[in-house]
Amino acid sequence: MKSIYYFCGDVRDRLERIVEAVPDAISLEESEEGFQIDILWVDGIVKGRASSSES
C-alpha cells in the first residue's frame, strides 16, 4: 500500500518535516488565502524522495 501525504495550505514552514515522514507521494493544494505554491521550490526540497504534484 502506498502512502500519500495530502496537505492543504501553506507548506513552506513544514515541507522538510513532511518529506522526513517518507511518504510515497506528496500532494499539495493552494488555499484561498492568496498564496501560491512554487512547484520548483517544492521539487528542490523533495529531491526525488517522494513524488510531487500540484493540485
What whole-number distance in Å separates Cα of residue 1 and Cα of residue 14?
24
Within 1-55, strands assigned E span 4-8, 25-29, 51-54
Q: Would you list the domain boundaries of the chain?
A: 1-31
Chain-centroid distance, C-alpha 53: 8
55 contact partners, CB below 8 Å, separation of at least 6: 27, 28, 29, 30
One-character DSSP codes across 9-46? S--TTTHHHHHHT--SEEEEE--TTS----HHHHHHHH
Query: pLDDT tens, position by position, for the chain (55 residues)?
Result: 889 999 988 899 999 999 999 999 899 988 777 778 888 999 899 887 775 455 4
pTM: predicted TM-score of the whole model, two decimal places: 0.72
